[in-house]
A and B are shown apart, each in its own frame.
Chain A
Amino acid sequence: MALYSDKVMDHFRHPRNVGKIEDADAVGEVGNAVCGDIMKIYLKIENDIITDVKFETFGCGSAIASSSMATELIKGRPVSEALELSNKAVAEALDGLPAHKMHCSVLAEEAIKKALLDYYTKNNIPYDESIFAGLDEEIESHHD
Chain B
Amino acid sequence: MYIYADNAATTKTSEAAIRAMTKVMEETWGNPSSLHSTGQRAKEVLEGAREKAAALLGCEPREITFTSGGSEADNMAIVSAAKNGARKNKKHIVSTAFEHHAVLHTLKKLEKEGFEVTYVEVPENGVVTVESIRDAIREDTCLVTVMFANNEIGTLQPIAEIGAVCREKKVPFHTDAVQAVGHVYVNVKEQNIDMLSLSAHKFHGPRGIGLLYAKRGIILSNLIEGGAQERGKRAGTEDIASIVGMVTAMEEAVRTIDEHAALLIPKRDRLIAGLSKIPHSTLNGDPEKRLPGNVNMSFEGVEGESLLLLLDDRGIEASSGSACTSGSLDPSHVLLAIGRPHEVAHGSLRLTFDADVTDEQIDYVIKNVGEVVEYLRNMSPLWFAKVEGRKEFYL
Indicate if the CB atoms of A1 and B381 lie closer than 8 Å. Answer: no
> How far apart are the CA atoms of A74 and B324 in the complex, in Å?
26
Indicate if the CB atoms of B305 and A57 lie closer than 8 Å. Answer: no
In the bound complex, residues from chain A placing their C-beta under 8 Å from that of B301 are 58
Indicate if the CB atoms of A58 and B323 lie closer than 8 Å. Answer: no
The verdict on B379 contacting chain A, using a C-beta distance below 8 Å, is: yes
In the bound complex, residues from chain B placing their C-beta under 8 Å from that of A144 are 329
Q: Given that A58-B303, A59-B306 are known contacts, is A33 also in contact with B382, CB under 8 Å in the complex?
A: yes
Q: Given that A33-B382, A35-B329 are known contacts, is A59 also in contact with B303, CB under 8 Å in the complex?
A: yes
Nearest A-chain residue to B377, judged by Cβ: A58
Main secondary structure of the interface of B (DSSP, over half): helix
Indicate if the CB atoms of B306 and A15 lie closer than 8 Å. Answer: no
Please provide the chain B residues from 300 to 339 with a CB less than 8 Å away from any CB of chain A in the complex. 301-306, 309-310, 312-313, 322-325, 327, 329, 331
The verdict on A12 contacting chain B, using a C-beta distance below 8 Å, is: yes
The verdict on A143 contacting chain B, using a C-beta distance below 8 Å, is: yes
The verdict on B364 contacting chain A, using a C-beta distance below 8 Å, is: no
The verdict on A79 contacting chain B, using a C-beta distance below 8 Å, is: no
* Most chain B Cβ neighbours within 10 Å, of A1, A33, A34: A33
The verdict on A135 contacting chain B, using a C-beta distance below 8 Å, is: no
In the bound complex, residues from chain A placing their C-beta under 8 Å from that of B329 are 35, 143-144
Q: Given that A33-B342, A36-B323 are known contacts, is A64 also in contact with B382, CB under 8 Å in the complex?
A: no
Tell which of A9, A18, A37, A56 touches B303, judged by Cβ atoms closer than 8 Å.
Answer: A37
Say how far B330's CB is from chain A's closest CB, in angstroms: 8
Indicate if the CB atoms of A61 and B309 lie closer than 8 Å. Answer: yes
In the bound complex, residues from chain B placing their C-beta under 8 Å from that of A33 are 342-343, 346, 382
Q: How many A-B residue pairs have CB under 8 A?
A: 73
Chain B residue total in the interface (Cβ 8 A): 26
Say how far B276's CB is from chain A's closest CB, in angstroms: 22
Indicate with 1 or 0, residue by residue over A29-73, a CB within 8 angstroms of chain B CB atoms: 100011111111000000000000000111111111000000000
Indicate if the CB atoms of A100 and B312 lie closer than 8 Å. Answer: no
Tell which of B327, B382, B383 touches A100, judged by Cβ atoms closer than 8 Å.
Answer: B327
Tell which of B304, B325, B342, B380 touches A57, judged by Cβ atoms closer than 8 Å.
Answer: B380
> How far apart are the CA atoms of A18 and B304 in the complex, in Å?
19
Indicate if the CB atoms of A29 and B381 lie closer than 8 Å. Answer: yes
The verdict on B185 contacting chain A, using a C-beta distance below 8 Å, is: no
Say how far B325's CB is from chain A's closest CB, in angstroms: 8
> How far apart are the CA atoms of A29 and B382 in the complex, in Å?
11
Indicate if the CB atoms of A64 and B323 lie closer than 8 Å. Answer: no
> How far apart are the CA atoms of A33 and B383 in the complex, in Å?
10
In the bound complex, residues from chain B placing their C-beta under 8 Å from that of A58 are 301-303, 380-383
> How far apart are the CA atoms of A12 and B375 in the complex, in Å?
12
The verdict on B2 contacting chain A, using a C-beta distance below 8 Å, is: no
> How far apart are the CA atoms of A61 and B306 in the complex, in Å?
5
In the bound complex, residues from chain B placing their C-beta under 8 Å from that of A19 are 379
Nearest B-chain residue to A67, judged by Cβ: B379
Q: Given that A36-B331, A36-B346 are known contacts, is A56 also in contact with B384, CB under 8 Å in the complex?
A: yes
In the bound complex, residues from chain B placing their C-beta under 8 Å from that of A101 are 324
Indicate if the CB atoms of A34 and B379 lie closer than 8 Å. Answer: no
Nearest A-chain residue to B327, judged by Cβ: A100
Rank and list the top 5 A-B pairs by shortest CB-CB distance, nearest first.
Answer: A60-B324, A33-B343, A60-B305, A36-B346, A40-B381
- 20 additional contacts (CB under 8 A) given A19-B379, A58-B381: A12-B309, A13-B313, A18-B379, A33-B346, A36-B322, A36-B323, A36-B324, A36-B331, A36-B342, A56-B381, A57-B380, A57-B381, A58-B302, A58-B382, A60-B303, A60-B325, A61-B309, A63-B324, A143-B323, A143-B329
Chain A positions near chain B (C-beta within 8 angstroms): 1, 9, 12-13, 15, 18-19, 29, 33-40, 56-64, 100-101, 143-144
Cβ contacts A to B, 5 pairs, < 8 Å: A36-B323, A60-B303, A63-B303, A64-B379, A144-B329
